[in-house]
Amino acid sequence: MTAKALSLPEPVERALDAAKNASRWWLAVSGGRDSMVLLDMVHRWVQANDGPTLYGLHIHHGLSEHADRWALLCEQQCIARKIAFQCHRVSVAQNDGSGLEAAARAARYAVFERCLEEGDVLLQGHHQDDQIETIIYRLLRGAGPRGLTGIPETRALARGTLCRPLLNTNREQINAWAQHYDLPFEEDPSNRDVTLDRNYIRHELLPVIAARWPGYRQTISRVGRLQALTMTGLEQAPLARVVGFWDEPGLSLGPLSTVALPSEDDAISLAHQLYRWLLEDGFDPPPAKRLTEFARQCRSARADRQPQLKVNNQRLIAWQGSVYRIPYAERTVALPDSVTVGETIIGPWGALRWEPDLDGLPEGLAVGLRIRSTGEKMMLAAGGPTRTFKNICQAYKVPPWWRSALPVLTHEGQAAFLVGVAKLKGAPDLAADDEIAGFSPQWRPLLE
């Protein structure tokens, strides 16, 4: 006698209906109960709703003696439903020390990204209990708002979209569906190993929580949703961007919260701002631990200290209440020996241009160009008062990281003068060209 058909859980119906305009649905099948239930649910939905073409996709990691059996089961179940099936064998390499599980995930997602084309959707079988375990696991590891959002129901993946229709369906509902339709599945023996953290949470911790708080699934899921809303608010708030002395991009270290935070939390809050800043500007942020340590140094450093962090080919430097980002240079680039007044020159060391200046140097004059000597005194402009290099930099608030790079002009052995500081922010316009007696040098570093 045919079993009476069950109705799809409402969250599953809603998730599949939202993805129905996809070009294709790829269904990630592992052979486990969750993926077999998802396969059956999705197939029934497609039959009833004339949904997108469905493809079964199995990743053969080769890490278990049962791997071939799992792949065969997935193939058989797809064929029985007239669903096209693909099995991809991958080689799992642990080259970065991240662990076997992380390496397997990386190999698996590499296949997913290759398979998905524009408009495709990949369906995975993560369910509500997976979500709960993830949030608790991350909580115990000290995660912040981003980590406590848990597993997203949908997100972009390569050229397509990743969707998890079962994410609001619990394990009991999934087990009931598998039992009702007598679905075959394979159990991974490693899922019973409670020496693994997630298995311990599932088999030891959650039953204790359930005995005391039977509604824990709903409340912990709500935590994830609230944290997601918190992250949305944080990420929509504008960053406190600033520009530096030569327009180098920066981020203010001003208060990031209207409430007083413990020092560790304050550093985490700043690290999040730095993470967003780098990401928005197209840079790969460093690991959270390094970024948080740098944020802690920024908050606690004395006024005469400039904490630094190398990020890709850039340097982050904290100074006078802000963090600036400048190109990272392993060595000083040699300057040309001489230049001609009025002629613009550009090189790896920067750009030297000239502005009209009544008291400037005559056009066409050949002058020397070099980096200053230690302890040298110089003028800001030809004929001006002599001052120490330190006094000049302090007076014009030249950041420490540019001081060793500022070019110095010389002529016929006369006292050197510094390029581009006094009139860096723009010389006043002159009424007529015939009033111009000379030119003032203006230097800018290359920030790309």
Strands 121-123 and 24-28: parallel
CA distance 194 to 201: 8
How confident is the model at residue 96, as a pLDDT? 56
CATH of domain 10-230: 3.40.50.620
How confident is the model at residue 257, as a pLDDT? 41
pLDDT category, 134, cuts 50, 70, 90?
Answer: very high
Specify the domain boundaries for CATH 3.40.50.620 within the chain.
10-230
How confident is the model at residue 18, as a pLDDT? 93
pLDDT category, 416, cuts 50, 70, 90?
Answer: low
Establish how many alpha carbons lie within 13 A of residue 184's alpha carbon, considering only the half-sphere containing its beta carbon: 11
How confident is the model at residue 272, as a pLDDT? 83
**Torsion angle in degrees (nearest 10) through CA of 74, 76, 78, 79:** 160
Q: Report the candidate in 147, 145, 64 with the shortest Cα–Cα distance to residue 101.
A: 64
**What's at 437, amino acid-wise?**
A
How confident is the model at residue 3, as a pLDDT? 63
Q: pLDDT by residue (tens digit) across 318-336?
A: 998 899 998 876 556 677 8
In this structure, the chain runs to a length of 448
Retrieve residue 84's tokens.
């096209």
Return the sign of the alpha-carbon dihedral for residues 274, 265, 213, 198. Answer: positive
CA distance 347 to 240: 32
Average pLDDT for 108-115: 94
Average pLDDT for 405-431: 56
pTM above 0.85, yes or no: no
- Which residues face 121 on adjacent strands? 25, 161
How confident is the model at residue 255, as a pLDDT? 58
Q: For 56-60, 171-175, 306-310, which range has the lowest pLDDT when averaged over its residues?
A: 306-310
Q: pLDDT by residue (tens digit) across 334-372?
A: 778 888 888 888 887 788 888 887 767 788 888 888 777
Specify the domain boundaries for CATH 1.20.59.20 within the chain.
241-327
How confident is the model at residue 147, as a pLDDT? 84
Token pair 């493809």 in the structure block, residue: 55
Retrieve residue 308's tokens.
């630094």
Q: pLDDT by residue (tens digit) across 207-260?
A: 999 999 999 999 999 988 888 877 777 677 788 899 988 888 999 987 544 344
According to CATH, the topology of domain 241-327 is: Chorismate Mutase Domain, subunit A (1.20.59)
- Classify residue 416 by its DSSP letter: P
Instruction: Determine what percent of the chain is predicted with pLDDT higher than 70.
Output: 86
pLDDT category, 311, cuts 50, 70, 90?
Answer: confident
Where is pLDDT greater, at 434 or 297? 297
CA distance 226 to 147: 12
How confident is the model at residue 397, as a pLDDT? 82
Where is pLDDT greater, at 373 or 126? 126
Helix axes 263-280, 288-300, angle to 10 degrees: 120
How confident is the model at residue 112, as a pLDDT? 95
- Classify residue 361 by its DSSP letter: B
Return the sign of the alpha-carbon dihedral for residues 154, 157, 161, 167. Answer: negative
Q: pLDDT by residue (tens digit) across 262-301?
A: 456 678 778 888 988 988 888 888 887 888 899 989 888 8
Q: pLDDT by residue (tens digit) across 367-383?
A: 888 777 666 777 665 56
How confident is the model at residue 426, as a pLDDT? 31
Return the sign of the alpha-carbon dihedral for residues 187, 193, 198, 203. Answer: positive
Q: How far is CA 87 from the centre of its chain?
A: 32
SS3 315: strand
Residue 137, pLDDT > 60, answer yes
Q: What is the mean pLDDT of the chain?
A: 84
Q: For 281-388, where are the alpha helices, taking DSSP H only? A: 288-300
How confident is the model at residue 418, as a pLDDT? 64
How confident is the model at residue 380, as a pLDDT? 63
Cβ-contact 324, 335 below 8 angstroms: no
How confident is the model at residue 417, as a pLDDT? 60
**What's at 156, amino acid-wise?**
A
Q: pLDDT by residue (tens digit) across 156-167?
A: 999 999 999 999
